Amino acid sequence: MHVINAENVNDAMAKGIDLILDQGVQVESRNGMTLEVPEPVATVYKNPYQRVLISYARDANPFFHLMESLWILAGRQDVKFLNEFNKRMVDFSDDGKVFNAPYGYRLRERFDDSGKCDFDQVAEVIAMLNRDPNSRQAVCQIWDTEDLNKDTKDKACNMSVVFRIRDSRLDMTVYNRSNDMIWGAYGANAVQFSMLQEYVAAHLDIEMGTYTQVSNSFHVYTEGPGGKVFRNLLEGFQHDINPYDYVNNTIIMAHEDMGNFESDLSQFFNIYDYYGLDEVGLTNYWESDYFKYLVNPMLSVYLMHKNLGPVEASNFTGWILADDWRIAANGWLTTRIENRAAK
């Protein structure tokens, strides 16, 4: 097994590129040719709070990553909400309405959709670790045995999440069967699961420890859209620059504010379900700092981009008080401005 010890997601990407170039071998997949590391790869994040990949070469969509993570924490399974931020998401649904293996739904509603077997694994883990901080049984399951032979566009890549408290900090390990380094490991997964870890840690009133992602198949695509982004990374990723040297202000979940966070999370999706995304953006009454100073500003800037364009939206990124998210949002909007100018 290869172990990548990383300060943050940007450091992980730089080291992952080097590992792929050094160890990667060609392996054909159902989605085209890949470069795959022959052994499993464990990425250990020292600072999982530093989850936002800041890179023009990667051009990751920070608005989508934040909103998808909230969607997971809310235990949802609908395609509609994610499609607001990424039109390709519908391609991973069998019926265009729900996903087969939505992480949040499986974590927070179990696998039974009849309403008779609701079981919130995340809440149970929090209760378990409150009762017994030394427990080694705080495991959340995502993979369903029915996935083995199921004909579906959406099989869970991340299979289970294990928590433990050591030295008064919450460590988390995620086990993944198939991990695209660019789109998954150092894109969506770094945000999704570190936010889950942050959520559990905030409820427990402890700090986050390490976040380890064990990837059984650690790979990149060399053809199609994935291949194009990989080539962009080879040409333009800044290996010797740590963007987090320029990050001073961050917005994190706080134990004393988690009741307000839960209320805001519920209100956010209730408004969306009844009135739509624009109405969520117009809502000013948020109780938690997380929604006041991060979620709402990010959504407002995204809606401005969606309705008026990237130039107009870029004038208002100052609303985003968290430096990491603001820098990433500015970069993503700048790329769209440049693309528009080049046409």
What residue has token string 């998210």?
Answer: 325
The closest alpha carbon to 48, from 165, 213, 190, belongs to 190
User: pLDDT value at position 111?
Assistant: 59
User: pLDDT value at position 84?
Assistant: 98
Domain boundary among 192, 218, 244: 244
| Shared domain check, 296 and 180 | no
Task: Check pLDDT > 70 for residue 254.
Answer: yes
User: pLDDT value at position 340?
Assistant: 78
What's the rounded mean pLDDT across residues 266-276? 98
| Shared domain check, 263 and 180 | no
pLDDT category of residue 142 using cuts at 50, 70 and 90: very high
User: pLDDT value at position 146?
Assistant: 87
Query: Are the C-beta atoms of 104 and 192 separated by less than 8 Å?
Result: no
Burial 290-299 (b: 16+ CB within 10 A, else e): bbbbbbbbbb
| Shared domain check, 259 and 240 | no
Question: 56: burial class by Cβ within 10 Å (0-12, 13-18, 19+)?
Answer: middle
Share of the chain above pLDDT 90, in %: 92
Per-residue pLDDT tens over the stretch 33-75 = 999 999 999 999 999 999 999 999 999 999 999 999 999 999 9
| Shared domain check, 261 and 240 | no
| Shared domain check, 264 and 239 | no
Task: Check pLDDT > 70 for residue 262.
Answer: yes
Which amino acid does the sequence have at 148?
Answer: L
d(Cα 304, Cα 313) in Å, to the nearest integer?
5
Q: Which long-range contacts (CB under 8 A, 24 or more apart) does 156-161 make?
A: 156/101, 156/103, 156/106, 157/184, 158/103, 158/189, 158/193, 161/107, 161/193, 161/196
| Shared domain check, 173 and 278 | no
CATH number at residue 48: 3.30.572.10
d(Cα 332, Cα 56) in Å, to the nearest integer?
7
Residue 32 lies in a domain: yes
Residue 159 lies in a domain: yes
Domain boundary among 244, 263, 283: 244
| Shared domain check, 214 and 154 | yes
Where is 128: in which H helix or E strand? helix 121-131
| Shared domain check, 200 and 175 | yes
| Shared domain check, 308 and 181 | no
Which of these is catalytic: 12, 157, 185, 251? 157
| Shared domain check, 182 and 58 | yes
Give yes or no: 157 in active site.
yes
Transcribe 209-266 into DSSP letters: EEEEEEESSEEEE-SHHHHHHHHHHHHH--TT--GGGG--------GGGHHHHHHHHH
Residue 94 lies in a domain: no
- How many domains does the structure of the chain reveal? 2
User: pLDDT value at position 113?
Assistant: 53
Residue 250 lies in a domain: no
| Shared domain check, 155 and 19 | yes
Transcribe 143-157 into DSSP letters: --GGGSS---S---S
pLDDT category of residue 110 using cuts at 50, 70 and 90: confident
Domain boundary among 224, 244, 264: 244
Residue 225 lies in a domain: yes
| Shared domain check, 207 and 324 | no
Angle at 233 between CA 229 and CA 237, to 5 degrees: 145
- Tell me the residue range of the domain where 293 lies: 255-342
pTM of the full structure? 0.96
Per-residue pLDDT tens over the stretch 65-106 = 999 999 999 999 999 999 999 999 999 999 999 999 999 999
